[in-house]
Structures are given as structure tokens and as C-alpha cells.
Amino acid sequence: MNMSLLHQITFYIMYAALALTVMVAVERMIFYGYTLRHARLLETALTVDMLAAPGLPEALTGRDSVPAETLRQMLGERHRLRNRDDVEDLSGAIYIAMKAKLQSHLWMLDTVVTAAPLLGLLGTILGIIETFVTLAQSGISDPQGVSAGIGTALFATALGISIALVGLVFLNHFRDRVERISDHLKILLMRAAMGVGERSVAAVSHLSIATAAKQ
């Protein structure tokens, strides 16, 4: 078995994991920054007077963002809601679907954080085995070469831990962003459902009065 080749493959995998971490981190930073700004904009603009209007401005709800989609789905089904239970069921379904979109790609960072130290340890073990094989074949005729081999083997562990730490920082930051955006989505859902119960009661009362007048 070629230990040197396995050792190199371990390093290639860790470098690929580092590149994946950077790409996911950049994409998620842009996504969460845009989503959070739009959620705050919608939350500020969504007032009782605006909800009473025939329709919300297209500039607010027409964007391709999670908050806008949340609002479109809620307002699109708002006329069908009859009581608090209907509001809670629809809000919960929309919230779960939107939070799944917010958490997209985070599993990649989670996997890198878990696997990188293990890959580093594997690289160290393979490197030490390679060094011992070299010693068994040629003896201790080149102490510097042996030291270099052990140093390279230990570098694998350091690289794996470093990649995991970088991924962990980004993962915790993104989880915090998901919670912040989720709070804004909850507020948007609650504001979009304002007055549903009152409208239902008013409609029932109006129907009762009309029926009594006919009698």
C-alpha cells in the first residue's frame, strides 16, 4: 500500500474542504445580508393602513427573497382564514418552509467542522506510518529527512483543526443570522394576519343582522 499517495490524497481532501468552506461562507454571507435587509424593510413598511389597501406595492413583495415569499404566501391565503387556528396552521407551515430555505447549505459547513479534524488526524497517522516505513527500509541514515516527515505528518493535524475552526466560526455566525431572520419572519407573519379574526366576527354579525331583517 502506497502510504505516500494516501497521505497526499488526505491533504487534497482537506484543501477541497477549505475551498468549499470559503465558497459556502461567501454565498451565505451575501444571502443572509440581503435577506436580513429586506426583512427589516418589509417589517417597517407593513403597517395596518397598508394591509387595508387593495394590494401591497410590487417593489416590496415582488423581490426574489425569503421575506417577500413569506409575505406573498400569507397574503395570498389571508382571505381564506376564518379563525385563530387557521392563522396558526398557515403561519406554522409557511414558517417551517421558509426556515428550511434559510438553513440551506449549512449542513456542508457542519460536515466540514466535524470531518476536518478527523482528516487531519488521519493524515498525521499516515505520515508517521510512511516515516516508519522509510526508517525500516533505509535506517536512520538521514535524521533530517525523518524530522521533515514527522513535521509534515503533524502539519496535517494542524491544517485539519484550522479548517474546522474557520468553519465553526462561520457556522455559528450563520446560525445567529438564521435566528434573527426567523424572528423577522415571525413578525411579518403576525402582521400579515392582523384583523383576520375581527373580519370573521364582523362577517358573521353582518350575516346574522341581514337574516334577522329578512325575517
Distances (CA, A) of 32 to 11, 49, 53, 60, 200: 31, 29, 30, 18, 37
Average pLDDT over every residue of 162-186 = 95
pLDDT tens, position by position, 139-164? 666 666 667 667 778 889 999 999 99
pLDDT reading at 103 higher than 80: yes
Average pLDDT over every residue of 182-202 = 71
CA dihedral 144, 150, 152, 154 (to 10 degrees): -150
Determine the 3-state secondary structure of 45 from DSSP.
Answer: helix
Q: How far apart are CA 90 and CA 113, in angstroms?
A: 35
Could you count the other beta carbons within 10 Å of the beta carbon of residue 32?
19
pLDDT tens, position by position, 41-53? 888 877 655 555 4
Angle at 88 between CA 82 and CA 94, to 5 degrees: 110
